[in-house]
Amino acid sequence: MSDERIIQDIEEMSQRIGRDSNRLSKCLDVLSKETYTDDYDGYHKRLLDIDAIIADVSATISFLGVVITKLYTGEYSQHAFEMAKNAPSKSEFSNQAYALMNYLRTTTFLLTERSKIARTVFEYKVLDIQKSVENEV
């Protein structure tokens, strides 16, 4: 891979990581501030929102895995980082990528636990609806 292409990759990775971080932060803010109704539709929407964020976080973790692999296989040299505009040093970039990956793994765990709780409550809501339908028949 040519130096120009490596530099372009580094700049694009830096920008993407920044965009992904901002987007995920906004999604988590919306999820924490969103008010869901305490009925079937509210719990269904909550589950869909949580699942969408988990998918987004998982995709970002996968991307970071590729980035970290490229860093440690030597595909991206220190020289390329020095030449890239607005990019941190290779070690700083690596540290930031690892820190973000660890944060996202923790976030995924917490969202998964939240999803389990929401799914349990959702199942109870479905059972309540089924019982009320059976009682009406």
CATH no. for residue 103? 1.20.58
| pLDDT tens by residue, 48-78 | 999 999 999 999 999 999 888 888 888 887 8
Per DSSP, 39 falls in state S
Is 74 among the domain residues? yes
Q: Which domain holds residue 50?
A: 3-131
Show the tokens assigned to 17. 């990581």
User: Which region holds residue 3: left if phi is over 0, alpha if psi is between -120 and 50, else beta?
Assistant: alpha
Which pLDDT band holds residue 120 (cuts at 50, 70, 90)?
very high
Q: Which residue type occupies 134?
A: E
CA 27 to chain centre: 9
Is 52 among the domain residues? yes
In the chain, what percentage of residues exceed pLDDT 90? 25
Show the tokens assigned to 24. 């995920």
Is 137 among the domain residues? no
Question: Residues 6 or more apart from 125 whose CB is under 8 A from it?
Answer: 39, 40, 43
Q: What is the pTM of this model?
A: 0.79
Instruction: Report the chain's mean pLDDT, rounded to a whole number.
Output: 86
Total structural domains in the chain?
A: 1
Is 136 among the domain residues? no
